Amino acid sequence: MTERLFLFDTTLRDGQQTHGVQFSTPEKRKIAEALDALGVDYVEGGWPGANPTDSEFFEEAPALRATFTAFGMTKRAGRSAANDDVLAGVLNAGTPAVCLVGKTHDFHVETALGITLEENLENIRASVAHCVDEGRETLLDAEHFFDGWKANPDYALKCLLAALEAGARWIVLCDTNGGTLPREVGRIVCEVIAGGVPGDKLGIHTHDDTGNAVANTLAAVDAGARQVQGTLNGLGERCGNANLTTLIPTLLLKEPYRSRFEIGVTEEALARLTRTSRMLDDILNRVPLRTAPYVGASAFAHKAGLHASAILKDPTTYEHVEPSLVGNARIVPMSNQAGQSNLRMRLLDMGLEVEKGDPALGRILEEVKAREGQGYSYDTAQASFELVAREALGRLPHFFEVKRYRVTVERRKNKYNRMISLSEAVVVVKVGEEKMLSVSESMDETGSDRGPVNALAKALAKDLGPYQGYIDDMRLVDFKVRITQGGTEAVTRVVIDSEDSTGKRWSTVGVSPNIVDASFEALLDAINWKLVRDGAPERPA
Amino acid sequence: MTERLFLFDTTLRDGQQTHGVQFSTPEKRKIAEALDALGVDYVEGGWPGANPTDSEFFEEAPALRATFTAFGMTKRAGRSAANDDVLAGVLNAGTPAVCLVGKTHDFHVETALGITLEENLENIRASVAHCVDEGRETLLDAEHFFDGWKANPDYALKCLLAALEAGARWIVLCDTNGGTLPREVGRIVCEVIAGGVPGDKLGIHTHDDTGNAVANTLAAVDAGARQVQGTLNGLGERCGNANLTTLIPTLLLKEPYRSRFEIGVTEEALARLTRTSRMLDDILNRVPLRTAPYVGASAFAHKAGLHASAILKDPTTYEHVEPSLVGNARIVPMSNQAGQSNLRMRLLDMGLEVEKGDPALGRILEEVKAREGQGYSYDTAQASFELVAREALGRLPHFFEVKRYRVTVERRKNKYNRMISLSEAVVVVKVGEEKMLSVSESMDETGSDRGPVNALAKALAKDLGPYQGYIDDMRLVDFKVRITQGGTEAVTRVVIDSEDSTGKRWSTVGVSPNIVDASFEALLDAINWKLVRDGAPERPA
């Protein structure tokens, strides 16, 4: 016997309250369609009339399987629901469902609204009745409900019952300032149900101000609530709303929810969850949170030596669900905690077969350990790791040698008396017996100075003689710097991502107190890795 | 009647399992000292013998008020505890407490360890007894405990009781793969207590794989556990460990915990929580998570609209705790009236009194906004912010002008045929009518190349004519680089911390695609701020 549990998404409304987030109309449409494909039951589109984007979005409403919902607020005192222009704006959006925020905390009614408790009850009752009369599925968002209940449970309950009697399909209990803890949420939802609001008419809306938005939602479901409100990636004001990207897999994959509830998200849709989460980050131009439950890049990354070897034996030892179920993947990175079996796996992935027990395995681990002590990190810089391993295995071909380089960074007035900066790099390379000198400057096509590392990268790639054909399609696509060890003893770690015309990407690392030199090392690794990968012929020194 | 609740921090051990995290020994020491100042009861430093950094850290153990703890594992089968070299390595670290991980899940004992259930019990018993004999406070980390309990509660309990009988001070229940949900955690902890392990000997160790690490911890405390394990900023493998930065304020500020428990963190320490959290991100060179509960930059940020105006009337409407209690601050959008009053407060803190309604306030807000769009950040760089404000107010004296500079970075063979790198900087400065040329190189006292920024800083500070006396006691104490915007359009942000002989520290920021130029800008701000602060006389250009 399963029960239906409903998912209500408010990414486009409450999610848009996030500091710095402002969706365009096409972005709203794209997100609504992704939510629909995921299988949520309600998509709340915004507040028609509150701002131009929201109004425009509702004017050309997307065709959704989900119930499209407009947000608004209960009518103001001193006028009828039919004569309230704000409410009319919401109804004019013509959505099948309407969600109205109303106050249930006596303190807010009297101080923020400045009306009597009875007037507020009447506003709720009349507004809900009006929407129902207009043929809309109506939800009441009970703002500040948990604080209201703690202050005056009788009045808070009266507000809910007023909406219910007026025909509301759902009463949504909101923890508006996010301060309520899971035990309290569970207890209060039980009390509300005992007070006469059936669980299958109750929704839960939480915020993450104590890091408990997900747990508060589950506590409400455990207590009987049957609608869950949240946002993709937990977007939302302050610390965010309940994260649907976390809740959906928990409700679908984990007990007791898996056996107990029927949810609109299919297994196929769940397998697109990671992609859906990344799509939202792309729209927001945000770096995806590595540690996000289920969908983060680190969610199934295993580092500890003990863990990594156990994972090789049986993934369930350190994974509570199979990563592919949510469209994610397992990562076993290289690090100083890794054991030999982990290392052999890694090397095999790179096409380097090494016998079990080969002493080179120990040498590689020692070398990696020593380098990590100096500030290197091979978690992401797989290409540099491969070069270290090849060196230890005696399988690193010699291609060329950099005899010297010189980079000059200058800031001075140009002929128009404006301050400009410019970098210039000279690199001297020896391939076999041939010596090559190259020079480049840091100016890009727009005349902007891109700095000394840019000049150095260009000079290094300018003339590699017989290898030129192998590196012509390489380009630097990302560049990260971090100072390991603070203070004046600072050591710089540079990680460079390169790409070639096949779309292949690889990462290399360099470390030095001198940032230019650290960058140079990473650039050199990037070229050498490409020459190895493409099977360039060796040129002994 | 309050009960003591203990905090156990594992940032330096389990936190180091994070993908991409590798602390150096000085960083470990800095974090340990910050944890100690915060008031945690236990600081777990790592696994002595497992890697060179951990071993080095234990060799020069910091002096802490907290109980310094070494991590290790129970002895292997087929040898005595006294003859187990791994266990010996842990005990040799000489810490007052030792935390041993041991298996309690029958499946793992038989398949991963490949020993009998009885052998594993004996390993736990003998290892704990040996550590207790050696005079150490001993903790058992019961790995995979919740899964083990679900599979075979009798055996899981036997493991705990074996440790308890052998003298363990704490039995820590670990949700190793992070898959257990709060209700289950609460139920199982109750059952464990009923099974004979007293709550005041029970700890809880959770992971955030379902977004419930904090809630699982609270559920265990509700059920009777009295030790909470976690990490700063929720660092840790996969999705991270229970976040102490979130748990500490909840336990101190919110009911029922506030009245029920006594915790080692004082109100004064709590007010430094946000700073402590940022310090860890600084060490990791991570962008602090804006949405982090309590300490995130957005945790008390209110977007324009209903909330922002309600906040002005009464902050409790949308804030569950007062931000200053955790060292955080309220943010209301800068564009509105509240933005201006906040700015006036901030300027007053710097000794700059500005009348309400002064149009300069709007100019400063606009300028800061525009600069933040370019990649500047004034969260920490207060000194640069003050210079921007002074400029807009017409209260920035002119001291000197840098006419030009040139930095050369070279890598070449020295006379002993060894590759060396060296940087040299020339700076030309004009003070009044006087022109000064200075040159410096990047070599430090030990003969190591400290890089181009070091050379530039030394050249700039070498001869400032009449101002030399003001800057002679300045030194660069920290240097952070972050690439804002990825890819080839990368822009570099450099933040420099300076200090003078009075112990005063100030931070400045520079932004440019050219890292040397960004550093130069931050260095220049650092000097100018010091001249302003010390009231150096103006020298018109």
CB pairs under 8 A between A and B: 354
Query: What are the chain B neighbours of A246 within 8 Å (beta carbons)?
Result: 210-211
Amino acid symbol at A207: H
What tokens appear for B286 in the block?
């991570």
Q: Quick check: B125 and B141 in contact, CB under 8 A? A: no
Nearest CB among A209, A403, A516 relative to B320 is that of: A209
Domain spanning A401-533: CATH 1.10.10.10: no
Residues of chain A with pLDDT under 70: 20, 285, 287, 304-313, 332-338, 484-489, 541
Query: What are the chain A neighbours of B108 within 8 Å (beta carbons)?
Result: 310, 317
B267 Cβ contact partners less than 8 Å away, ≥ 6 residues apart: B252, B325
Cα of A386 to nearest chain B Cα, Å:
17
In this complex, do B112 and A289 lie within 8 Å of one another by their Cβ atoms? no
What tokens appear for A466 in the block?
């017989």
Q: How far is CA A239 from CA B170, B238, B289, in A?
A: 34, 21, 10
A508 alpha carbon, distance to own chain's centre: 24
In this complex, do A483 and B480 lie within 8 Å of one another by their Cβ atoms? yes
* Ranges of H-type helices in A322-445: 340-349, 359-374, 382-393
What tokens appear for A162 in the block?
């007023």
Cα of A67 to nearest chain B Cα, Å:
26
Query: What are the chain A neighbours of B312 within 8 Å (beta carbons)?
Result: none
According to the model, what pLDDT value does residue A285 have? 63
Query: What are the chain A neighbours of B512 within 8 Å (beta carbons)?
Result: 421, 449, 451
Nearest CB among A380, A475, A490 relative to B20 is that of: A380
In this complex, do B112 and A313 lie within 8 Å of one another by their Cβ atoms? yes
In this complex, do A406 and B404 lie within 8 Å of one another by their Cβ atoms? no
Cα of A477 to nearest chain B Cα, Å:
5
My answer on whether omega of the bond before B26 falls inside 30° of 0, hence cis, is no
In this complex, do A112 and B320 lie within 8 Å of one another by their Cβ atoms? no
According to the model, what pLDDT value does residue A410 have? 94
Cα of B303 to nearest chain A Cα, Å:
6
In this complex, do A336 and B22 lie within 8 Å of one another by their Cβ atoms? yes
According to the model, what pLDDT value does residue B369 have? 77
According to the model, what pLDDT value does residue A307 have? 61
Q: Quick check: A294 and A326 in contact, CB under 8 A? A: yes
Nearest CB among A243, A372, A516 relative to B452 is that of: A516
Query: What are the chain B neighbours of A513 within 8 Å (beta carbons)?
Result: 448-451, 454
Q: Nearest residue on chain B to A403, judged by CA atoms?
A: B412
Query: What are the chain B neighbours of A457 within 8 Å (beta carbons)?
Result: none
Query: What are the chain B neighbours of A448 within 8 Å (beta carbons)?
Result: 513
Q: Quick check: B256 and A173 in contact, CB under 8 A? A: no
To test the contact with chain B by mutation, choose from A238, A274, A404, A489 the residue with the greatest count of B C-beta atoms within 10 A, namely A238
According to the model, what pLDDT value does residue B196 have? 97
To test the contact with chain B by mutation, choose from A289, A294, A514 the residue with the greatest count of B C-beta atoms within 10 A, namely A514
Amino acid symbol at A249: P
Q: Quick check: A291 and B291 in contact, CB under 8 A? A: no
According to the model, what pLDDT value does residue A541 have? 65
To test the contact with chain A by mutation, choose from B210, B217, B380 the residue with the greatest count of A C-beta atoms within 10 A, namely B210
Query: What are the chain B neighbours of A221 within 8 Å (beta carbons)?
Result: none
Q: Nearest residue on chain A to B289, judged by CA atoms?
A: A289
Q: At what angle do helices A452-462 and B515-533 cross, to 10 degrees?
A: 160
Cα of B149 to nearest chain A Cα, Å:
14
- Exposure of A155 in the CB half-sphere (CA atoms within 13 A): 22
Query: What are the chain A neighbours of B234 within 8 Å (beta carbons)?
Result: 291
Q: At what angle do helices B25-38 and B273-284 cross, to 10 degrees?
A: 170
What tokens appear for B226 in the block?
């009295």
Cα of B298 to nearest chain A Cα, Å:
5
Cα of B324 to nearest chain A Cα, Å:
15
Smallest CA-to-CA distance from B26 within A487, A219, A316 is with A487
- Strand stretches in B227-366, DSSP E: 227-230, 261-262
Give the span between the Cα atoms of B413 and A520, in whole angstroms.
16
In this complex, do A108 and B317 lie within 8 Å of one another by their Cβ atoms? yes
What tokens appear for B524 in the block?
């220049």
ipTM of the complex: 0.74
Give the span between the Cα atoms of A275 and A445, in whole angstroms.
35
Nearest CB among A112, A421, A513 relative to B450 is that of: A513
Nearest CB among A405, A451, A477 relative to B513 is that of: A451
What does B123-183 look like in DSSP terms, one character per residue?
HHHHHHHHHHHTT-EEEEEEETHHHHHHH-HHHHHHHHHHHHHTT-SEEEEE-TTS---HH
Q: pTM of the entire structure?
A: 0.75
Q: How many CB atoms sit inside 10 A of residue A81's CB?
A: 22
Q: How far is CA B196 from CA B137, B161, B167, B173, B192, in A?
A: 20, 8, 14, 14, 7
Q: Nearest residue on chain B to A405, judged by CA atoms?
A: B411
In this complex, do B450 and A520 lie within 8 Å of one another by their Cβ atoms? no
Domain with CATH 3.20.20.70 in chain A: 3-265
In this complex, do B182 and A219 lie within 8 Å of one another by their Cβ atoms? yes
CATH number of B3-265: 3.20.20.70
In this complex, do A517 and B451 lie within 8 Å of one another by their Cβ atoms? yes
Strands B419-431 and B401-413: antiparallel
Q: Quick check: B310 and A112 in contact, CB under 8 A? A: yes
Query: What are the chain B neighbours of A485 within 8 Å (beta carbons)?
Result: 24, 26-27
In this complex, do A239 and B291 lie within 8 Å of one another by their Cβ atoms? yes
Give the span between the Cα atoms of B388 and B385, in whole angstroms.
5
Q: Nearest residue on chain A to B314, judged by CA atoms?
A: A112
- Exposure of B173 in the CB half-sphere (CA atoms within 13 A): 39
Q: Nearest residue on chain B to A14, judged by CA atoms?
A: B303
Query: What are the chain A neighbours of B213 within 8 Å (beta carbons)?
Result: 211
Cα of A445 to nearest chain B Cα, Å:
12
Give, rounded to a whole angstrom, the gap between the first and last alpha carbons of chain A: 75
Smallest CA-to-CA distance from A115 within A174, A131, A107, B308 is with A107
Residues of chain B with pLDDT under 70: 303-313, 332-339, 379, 484-490, 541
Residue B262, phi then psi, degrees to nearest 5: -110, 130
CATH number of B337-400+472-541: 3.30.160.340
In this complex, do B176 and A318 lie within 8 Å of one another by their Cβ atoms? yes
Cα of B399 to nearest chain A Cα, Å:
18
A217 alpha carbon, distance to own chain's centre: 20
Give the span between the Cα atoms of B214 and B230, in whole angstroms.
9
In this complex, do B17 and A337 lie within 8 Å of one another by their Cβ atoms? yes
Cα of B309 to nearest chain A Cα, Å:
10
Give the span between the Cα atoms of A382 and A361, in whole angstroms.
16
In this complex, do A112 and B313 lie within 8 Å of one another by their Cβ atoms? yes
